[in-house]
Every structure is written in C-alpha cells, then in structure tokens.
A and B are shown apart, each in its own frame.
Chain A
Amino acid sequence: MPSKTITLGKSELRKDAWAKATGAAQYVADIKHEDLRYGAVVRSTVHHGRLVAVDASAAQEAPGVLRVITGGDIPGEKAFGALVHDQPPLVVDLIRHLGEPIAVVIAETKAAAERAAKLVEVEYEAIEPVHDPQEAVAPEAPRLYTEGNLISHYEIKDGDVASGFAEADIVLEDTFSVPLVSPAYLETENAVARWNADDTLTVWVSSQHPFTDQLEIAATLGIPAEKVQVKSAVIGGAFGGKEDASIAILAALAAWAVKGTVKLVNSRQESFWAHPKRHPAQIELKLGAKKDGTFVALQAKAHVDTGAFASYGPAVGIILTETLAGSYRVPNVDLETVVAYTNNPLAGAMRGFGSPQSHFAIESMVDMLAVELGLDTVEVRRKNILRVGDKMFTGVIVNETANSLPECLSHAEEVLKRFEAIEPTAGKVAGSGLALVMQSMGLGAKVPDDSTQGLEWLPDGSVAVHLGSPDLGQGLTMIAEQIAAETLELPYEQVKSIDLDTWRSPNGNVTCASRMTYMVGNALVDAAEQLKSQMLAQAARLLNQPQDRLTYQGGEVVTAGGERIAVKEIVSRAADDGIALQSEATFSFPYPEETTPQHLPIGMPHVLFCFGAQIARVEVDPELGTVDVTHLAAVHDVGRVISRPGVEGQIEGGAAMGVGYALFESMDLKPDGGWVDNFTEYLIPTSKDMPPSFENIILEIPEESGPFGAKGIGEVTVPPTAPAVANAVYDAIGVRVKSLPLTPEKLIHIRSNAE
C-alpha cells in the first residue's frame, strides 16, 4: 500500500454535488421530453380479492385519454420478480395487497390521466386477508398462492443445542418484534419510457438495477432484451427499495401501448404501497450461558413477513438467519427462519437486509443476559465476540477483519464512560447503551455476482469511468473516480464518471449489499492496470521504443532516457490512428471453494463481514416515557477510507435511519383498514430528532481482498442503532421494550404493568 496517496482517504468534493446544489441536477421526473404523455395507475382498494371485472369505458372516453391498459393487455410474461416471478405488473386475477396496480390510464396531461383513473370501475370479490406471517403459514389461512404462503424455510444447526442448554447456568427466552418500515427516500419511484420509431424502447428509471430492469421489461413486452435501452438519471435515494422493476415495467407497457413517451411518477402514498420495504419479523430467541457470561447455546425461530410478493424476501431470510447470533461465537445453535407471504404491501431489500431485525433481538438479549448475571455489558460481549480464525455456525472461518471487534469494544467502553459522566437535563433520566453489529457483504455463495466496469482514456488526457452500476446518491461515482485516479496516479479531477446506459455501459450488476466499493473498486483497479499497459503499448508503438524500457508515472510515460511524455499526447496520437484506449474488467465476488462451506442452500453462506459498534446516550422523560437520543457514537471498520466525508455520510445517514427505526417508524395497518402511507403519519427523523452530538470513530483494518483494503459501509450503519437505543433506555429507566419502535406508549404501558 502506498504511504503517500493521491486521492485515497482525502476529502474530495463530489462532482455531482455542484449540479445538485444549484438545482441543475436532472432526476427522471425533471428531464424534458417531446410529446410527453402521462400515466396514472388505478390501484386495488382491497387487501385480498379476486378481480372480477375492470370497466374502463368511461375512462377511455374521458377528455385527453389515449388508452387504458389492464393485465390482459400484457403481451409477454404476466409476472416478474427478482427471485421468484410472482409479481404481476398489473393484476390479472388475484389481488394480493391494497394498492396493487390494476390499470394504467395514459393521457395527454397528468391531470387528465388522474381524472380518468377515477372513472375506471373495478369489480372485486373480496377474500379474507391475512396480515400476520405466523397466521399465514397455518393450514387454515387464506392462500395467496396455490402452493401456500410459505416461501422459504431455513434451518442452520451447529453443535447440539440440547446439550448446550443442559450445561448452561442460565437460559433466557424471549420474543422480539420489528415493524414494517420504509426506506422513505425522498424521490419516489418514477420512470419515463419512450417507444422509438425503430421499435426499440428507451426507459429512464430511478433504479438500482437497470440491467435487471432491461430484462424484465423485455420479458413483459415479449421483445428481445437488445431492443430495450435503460438509462439512469440522477437518483434521489434508494436504500434497497429501488430493486424492483414495477414502475419501469408499467411505464414501458404504457409507452408500448400508445407508441409514445409516457411518464409515471408514484405519489408518496403509492410509493408506500408499491416499493419494497424492510421486512417485519417476530423473533423468538433462547440464549444459554455460563455464569461468567460465556454463551453456550442459542436457539431461534424467526417469522418474517415478505408481504404479497417474494421480492428479495428469501435472501433477506438468509442474512437474517446468518446474523441471528450477531457478532458472537456460540458453539451450539439451532436457528430457524420462516419467510411467509401475507396480504401486506411487499417487503424486500432495505439497507441492512435482515440484519437490523436480527440485531435488535440478539443485542437486546445480550444486555438482558448481562443484567441477569450482574455482569458488565462490555465484558459479556468481550467474552463472546468472534475472533480471527473462529469457525462460525455456517462453517465460515472468520478472517482478520474480526480484529476490529475487540477494538470496537475498547472504543465503546471509553465512549460509555464519557456518556455516563454527562449530567442529565433537569427532569430527565439519562442512560447509555451499546450494540455490536456484524453485516455481511455480497449476495451469498453460489449466487453469481460479477461486476464489470470500464475505463477510457480520452484525448484530452482525462479518464472516463464507464460505471456499470448506478450511484443511488451515496457517492459511488466519487469512490469509483477516486479508485481509478489512485490506480492511474492521476488527480481526482481528471477522472469523470459517465451516466449509465445499458446499451453502452458495462454490466456492473445491481447496486446493493454493501459491496459497491469492493466490487466496483476491484474491477476498476484491474481495468486501470490494463489501461496503463495499453498506454505503454501505444507509447512504445508511437515512440518506436521497446515497451519494457518505458514506465508509467503519474500521467506521464517516462522513457529509459528520462524523457517524459504527457499521456494526453499519446492518447490523441493513438486516436489519430483510430486506436482508443479502453479497458474493461470484471470482478467476481470471491467464494473460494476451499474456505466456503458447500452444505448450505444457495445464497448461503456469506463469507465477508463488516463489523462495528454504536453507543447511544438517551434522556428519558420518566413521566412521559419520551426518549431523546442526545449522543451517538459510531465505531465502524471500513478496511480503508477512500473518502472520509463519504464514509462519515454513510454512517451518519445509516444511524439516522436507525434512530427512526428505534423511535417512531412503523408502517401500521390502521383501524380503518388503510395503511400508514404518508409522511404525516409515517415519521422519519427531522433535524431536531437527530442527536446534537454525533461522533464517528472509523477503523481501518485492511480487508485483504478489497481495493486498497477497503470494504463496505452502507448497511452496517443501521442495525446497531435501535438496540443501542433500547439498551440505553433500559439503562435509564429499567424498562425493556422488546418491540420496535420504542414509543412512549409502550414504555409507560410496560412500566405501569410492572408496578
């Protein structure tokens, strides 16, 4: 590793930020188009039912309306989905959740489309809905699918739990629950699709996986994938929720139907119904330990509710299962997860992907155990954390990155001491709490995971990054540019990303799973090395010198005689000869056969991990039960900092999501039968809800396989916040809330029941 870096670890400025700060940045809904038409989606008003008839005649006759399409109009595949093709773009037969798309009205103006959408008459035959995952898998439950409502069932065993519990001095058993929550990015899902004169289709969509959208659109329309071009615009946040092709497919269908250009933008309410959210779960845990706090056995059963469609539910179930023991080694485990369909709006990928759920349970229980045994919460953790070389219950041997865990604990111990010394505000009771986190990177073994990225040296000497995966707003382009610049020994300013276009860009695969710095970075390091070789080859040709006598140094080719030639000269001379300097490299997420256990189902196990800890100080109003998070400290190991503000921004934003998860976010079914589906009722943290004091402690324990030692940070920032807050609340007032969010209502209710 070079001791002096060009751009790594520096506070570079994001190039996209300038356009965003001036209002010039073009998100999908901002882009101007000729002859733009507008779509409005007619959605189901029942949770479960059979679609009897759709009468669109009045809408079809309404002023400005071009066409109304329904499920029957779909020329190709009638259902799509990331893992299971179970999600109809438009309902054909069975309605499985409230707000499911039934028809799209396409009109000359948005107002005309919306007016006409109200004229579409839909006849239903209502069916009793099921909203609870445990009830959903009972034999008598109403079925969403003929095969039943069980979608995945995992069980991982290691050791022998029965004998583990037998040797335990103490066994704790409890149930934890977490609600349905929304990524609630500010830009709702949207897409513009244009049917071109040559019978191809161009789609602009705010999406994490344009290459998947391309395939799913083509399948729905029954046309070859090459005919579909998907383009990324600036993306207004995603957090997992934009790993869903629904809006892109609907816009594509609409454009195909009218052979024109159609824009679809979900309202906030539609967004709540339509996009994947974080799975609600009920987790039963039974933890056995010795008197000294050593864990001996863990048994768990989780019921996970994926809603009406699988989306990434089965994969979320996997990570949830793999993280049920958190960052700890437990010799005897029996961990079972059931993922079920219900008539709730779909859950799928959302930052943390199963791990916020499991961590709330295990990190709460570890503190409960410490209390029962009269031990220090840091000490109990220290005794049980995974150590380098430990074999996890999946069979994976933990690599050197586990060295971050004891460091996390030392920092946590120091922070806790400081927090505990702070005097509470008058009338408030203060408490501090800690949670550790283990977040996996990558899609899991046996899941193909290749990312291809490209570079191009332009005649002006600058380098274009042909990014194959979209930047969701987290700053992927900056990281890619920095890594390319560092490898090419060029200033950051000289490297610039090109917007993604599935017809032109390499396939970088979906932006998800805390693996973008890792995947994109590794691919770009490789691509940059290739580009340097090409540079030397061209220099050799043009200078008529043997290539092995030339070296590349910081944007210049140096001859054996010490002559320095600017790369720009070589690139432009090569261009004159019709030669372009372009490279592409593919990085495949490594699951080395010799170290990756093969006995588990596809998608298991995950082999690389991000570790961290968060420490919260809260002040509780003991009479009202209100909780203020006054301080948060986040300790995260990122392997290697590429961009310091980038890393900090991920941590601060992730912890903010964690604060919302801890205190008030919950997409509930209301007594009137509707969902909490707007920002008046679904509350995300405001600037006043974030702790006034936020501290980042960033560790850099290199991940050997990562670019410059770097690894992921996106998701690991979320799971520890809520349990840290819950543990702090217990520390303050002795009330243990086992379900999120930690509302004053629950705190007061639990306490008054205890009195």
Chain B
Amino acid sequence: MKSIQISFVVNGKAVTLSSAPNRTLLEILRDDLGLTGAKDACGGEGECGACTVIMDGAAINACLVFIGQADGSSVETIEGLEDNGNLHPLQRTFVEAGAVQCGYCTPGVIMASKALLDENPNPSNVEIREGLSGNLCRCTGYVKIVEAVRMAAEEISHA
C-alpha cells in the first residue's frame, strides 16, 4: 500500500499531508488534524450522519470519503463555523432551543443544517425533516432540532 500526498483546505486553512490511502476523511480530521467534532457513530456505513462535514459546498459523510478523494477539495467542519469569535446562528439556536442533549449527533446535525440553509434559506418543516433525515439523533426526537433550524433560518433571513 503506497502512501499518497493530499492537499486540501480545511476550515479555510491549506493542509498538505501524506497518508495511507485506506484512511477516511473522518479519520484524518479526527486523528491527524485534531478536529474531533465530527463523530463516528455507525462504524463508517453512512447510516448516522454524525460525521457530516461540508465538502465543496455539499453535506457529506466524512466516513464515506477515502482521504485521496478529498484531494483538492475544501472542507468545512463544526470547528470552522465560528466567525471571528462569533458563533454561527445555528450553533446558538441549537443551544437556545434545547436541541442539544447528549450532543454526539450535534456537530453533524448542525453541519447538515448549514448545508440545508445555504441552499434553501427558508425551508419548511417538511424540508428541514427531509434535509436532516440522514442524521440520527436518539435523544431529542428531533422536535427541538427542527425548531432550532427554523429559528436560525429566521435569524439569518432577517440579518
């Protein structure tokens, strides 16, 4: 197994590294870059969304991307959402709406929500539920998550 060279941008910073090709974007983010916000909850099957990050504008499961496939891409993780010390509205509304319980799904859900709002700034509840259907949460029953996304959407559209 030959290692490969990867250059990509993570949260606005250029990263170049060498890796075995059988490692995933999730492993690199967590183990090499110390970005542990994205979680592995389903064992790398793309069934839970806990590792959701935004790659080239699209929400994706970082466990389903071999690191070589991220070469040349731009990746945004939960750690990169803060802007000059200001939290993203979603980060705030998730706390304010009580949408965070154990929190293990939260970074993935927030990133999936961000991708949703980037594309559709004013989604209906049905669209929010559809947009987040790849993110499992076992604590909240999703009620307050949907509420948090709606609150953030309103805040963003009034900003």
Find the B residue at minimum CB distance from A474: B101
Contacts of B118 in A (CB 8 A): none
Q: Is B154 an interface residue (CB 8 A)?
A: no
Q: A623 to B147, alpha carbons, bound, how many Å?
A: 34
Find the A residue at minimum CB distance from B42: A679
Residue contact B133 to A687, C-beta cutoff 8 Å: yes
Contacts of A117 in B (CB 8 A): none
Contacts of B15 in A (CB 8 A): none
| B150 CB, min distance to chain A CBs, angstroms | 13
Of listed A27, A187, A655, residue having the most chain B CB within 10 A? A187
Task: Give a binary string over A429-447; 1 marks a CB under 8 Å from any B CB, 0 the rest.
Answer: 0000000000000000000
Whether A186 contacts B102 in the complex (CB less than 8 A), given A21-B95, A21-B110, A687-B145, comes out as: yes
Residue contact B103 to A657, C-beta cutoff 8 Å: no
Residue contact B133 to A649, C-beta cutoff 8 Å: no
Docked complex: A244-300 residues within 8 A CB-CB of B: 267-269
Contacts of B103 in A (CB 8 A): 16-17, 19-21, 25, 234, 236, 473
Task: Identify which of B2-10, B43-51, B66-74 touches chain A.
Answer: B43-51
Task: Give a binary string over A666-704; 1 marks a CB under 8 Å from any B CB, 0 the rest.
Answer: 000000000000111000111110101010000000000
Residue contact A185 to B104, C-beta cutoff 8 Å: yes
Whether A687 contacts B142 in the complex (CB less than 8 A), given A22-B81, A187-B104, comes out as: yes
| B152 CB, min distance to chain A CBs, angstroms | 11
Residue contact A239 to B138, C-beta cutoff 8 Å: yes
Contacts of B20 in A (CB 8 A): 111
Q: Is B140 an interface residue (CB 8 A)?
A: yes
Whether A688 contacts B78 in the complex (CB less than 8 A), given A21-B94, A656-B142, comes out as: no
Whether A186 contacts B41 in the complex (CB less than 8 A), given A21-B87, A686-B136, A687-B129, comes out as: yes
Residue contact A690 to B142, C-beta cutoff 8 Å: yes
Q: Is A145 an interface residue (CB 8 A)?
A: no
Contacts of A686 in B (CB 8 A): 132-136, 142
Find the A residue at minimum CB distance from B131: A687
Contacts of A657 in B (CB 8 A): 138
| B40 CB, min distance to chain A CBs, angstroms | 8
Q: Is B24 an interface residue (CB 8 A)?
A: no
Contacts of A239 in B (CB 8 A): 138
Residue contact B98 to A14, C-beta cutoff 8 Å: yes
Chain A contact-residue range equals 35 or more
Contacts of B78 in A (CB 8 A): 21-23
The one of B95, B105, B140, B146 in contact with A14, judged by C-beta atoms closer than 8 angstroms, is: B95
Residue contact A656 to B141, C-beta cutoff 8 Å: yes
Residue contact A688 to B129, C-beta cutoff 8 Å: yes
Contacts of B102 in A (CB 8 A): 185-187, 234-237, 472-474
Chain B interface, number of residues (Cβ within 8 angstroms): 58
Q: Is A183 an interface residue (CB 8 A)?
A: yes
Of listed A18, A186, A688, residue having the most chain B CB within 10 A? A186
Contacts of A605 in B (CB 8 A): none
Task: Give a binary string over B93-113; 1 marks a CB under 8 Å from any A CB, 0 the rest.
Answer: 011111011111111001000
Residue contact B138 to A678, C-beta cutoff 8 Å: no
Give the interface SS of chain A, mostly helix, strand, loop or mixed: loop
Task: Give a binary string over A15-57; 1 marks a CB under 8 Å from any B CB, 0 the rest.
Answer: 0111111111111011010000000000000000000000000
Of listed B39, B41, B45, B135, residue having the most chain A CB within 10 A? B41
The one of A22, A184, A649, A684 in contact with B98, judged by C-beta atoms closer than 8 angstroms, is: A649
| B100 CB, min distance to chain A CBs, angstroms | 4
Contacts of B95 in A (CB 8 A): 13-14, 17-18, 21
Docked complex: B118-159 residues within 8 A CB-CB of A: 125-126, 128-130, 132-146
Find the B residue at minimum CB distance from A659: B141
Of listed B43, B102, B110, B145, residue having the most chain A CB within 10 A? B102
Task: Give a binary string over B72-92; 1 marks a CB under 8 Å from any A CB, 0 the rest.
Answer: 000001110110000100111
Residue contact B146 to A687, C-beta cutoff 8 Å: yes
Q: Is A505 an interface residue (CB 8 A)?
A: no
Residue contact B45 to A680, C-beta cutoff 8 Å: yes
Find the B residue at minimum CB distance from A19: B103
Residue contact A183 to B98, C-beta cutoff 8 Å: no
Whether A185 contacts B145 in the complex (CB less than 8 A), given A17-B103, A268-B42, comes out as: no
Q: A690 to B110, alpha carbons, bound, how many Å?
A: 19
| B71 CB, min distance to chain A CBs, angstroms | 21
Residue contact A184 to B138, C-beta cutoff 8 Å: yes
| A66 CB, min distance to chain B CBs, angstroms | 19
Q: Is A188 an interface residue (CB 8 A)?
A: yes
Closest 5 CB pairs of A and B: A23-B37, A473-B102, A20-B103, A645-B98, A236-B104
Q: Residues of B at under 8 Å CB distance from A?
A: 20, 30, 34-39, 41-43, 45, 47-48, 50, 77-79, 81-82, 87, 90-92, 94-98, 100-107, 110, 125-126, 128-130, 132-146
- 28 A-B interface contacts by CB (under 8 A): A21-B91, A21-B94, A22-B78, A22-B81, A22-B87, A23-B37, A23-B77, A23-B79, A27-B36, A186-B50, A186-B104, A187-B102, A188-B41, A234-B102, A237-B139, A474-B102, A648-B143, A652-B140, A656-B141, A678-B47, A680-B47, A686-B133, A686-B142, A687-B128, A687-B129, A688-B129, A688-B133, A690-B141
